[in-house]
Structure 1
Amino acid sequence: MADITVSLPDGSTRTLPSGATAADLAADIGSGLARDAIAAVIDGEERDLVVALADGATVEIVTPSTDRGLETLRHSTAHVLAQAVLGLWPGATFAIGPPIEHGFYYDFELSDDATFGPEDLEAIDSRMREIIAADQAFERGETSADQALEIFADHAYKREIIEKVASGEAPGELADEAGAEGAVSYYRNGDDFVDLCRGPHVPSTGRLGHFALQK
């Protein structure tokens, strides 16, 4: 198959085999960038490193040293927080968990009107670090709204987001949670955790680790 040519932010170009991904581009530029890369901006859209590049695309490799990279790290860490809480508190449900200016958060509702106490932070922190040590891949998928409602059958807040996105009534921050119009996007990591999300995310949980929980 024919090679492709992509442009970099400095105006230079790189020629790669057809089917090459953003991660392949980072490796072609240099081993240091390949190690640091966590996401990409392809033709102005934030994407995962595993996305295949089209001929003529303009690509920026995102690293943790940039504002965009820091936001991606925070976003992925919020997913790990949700995974930890849902694993530790059976019956818990979750709403949204975006990155914010100085960190990240996630909205949870525990069963039986329970609330988190200061002593719970240590357990959550410990479980998050186990997930990070497991180096679980973030895997993106897309599905229909009807199928997404089945996936999140036990999570009323997620179902509300899906229904609003499907009807075109979701404000921007909710649309970002569930992906583009006409499809619902989600991410899986580990064997039992899935969350609505447009992305992008770091390639795997092992790329995370520097965080502190506050109540």
Structure 2
Amino acid sequence: MKPWLSICLLCCAAAPAAVSAPPEQPGAREVPAFLEGTVRQLRATVAGITTLVARAHMVRRTAGLREPVNADCAIAYAAPDVLRMDVAGPCGYLLLVSNGVATTASAGHDWQDVRPLAGHERVLDDVLGIATFADGRAFDFQLRVEGDETVITAYLRPDQREKREQAFAEYGRSAMLHVVWLNTVTGRIRQTRVRTLGGDDTTLSFRELWINGVLQSQ
């Protein structure tokens, strides 16, 4: 096992919450039940994560920057909120989250940013985009089926967005959009996208993914 795979870990749980489905469309009466079942499957997958290690490709668009970060990265996560993310490339950086503090440093250590996590921030939701939907009532859900994959899209409800915009200093890094590509046969999460209230937009495509030490099937 490679050195970066060995990290020590605690335990994670995702709190259940009600699922809000979009109104039924004519001829699609089974969609709401299927939607609820799919979100329940995603929650069950996430609730069982105590460790997560991945090789991924990241595309990150940051508010105020013209060019996105387009790079490979190595991820090591331990529940509930411990993370090391090494982003490669000319704009490479290291993100460490531990003890409620997020530290970001350039690959050459030319600069460093240290900040406390906001009380609502969660590594899985807001950094990795693996949505726990701890407050499912805050989102409206949609889905589409692509072969064995179900694409779950969750939008922050307008009233919730307005409340968070009024407290932007606290909620600027919280997710307002989640998209998760879930294989409903294997339960594997292939790709995630998260857009924050502050405008950061990150897509992670997992090339290799270990959950609790087990390599997830393709």
TM-score (norm 2): 0.29
- Which structure has greater helix proportion? 1
- Which structure has greater strand proportion? 2
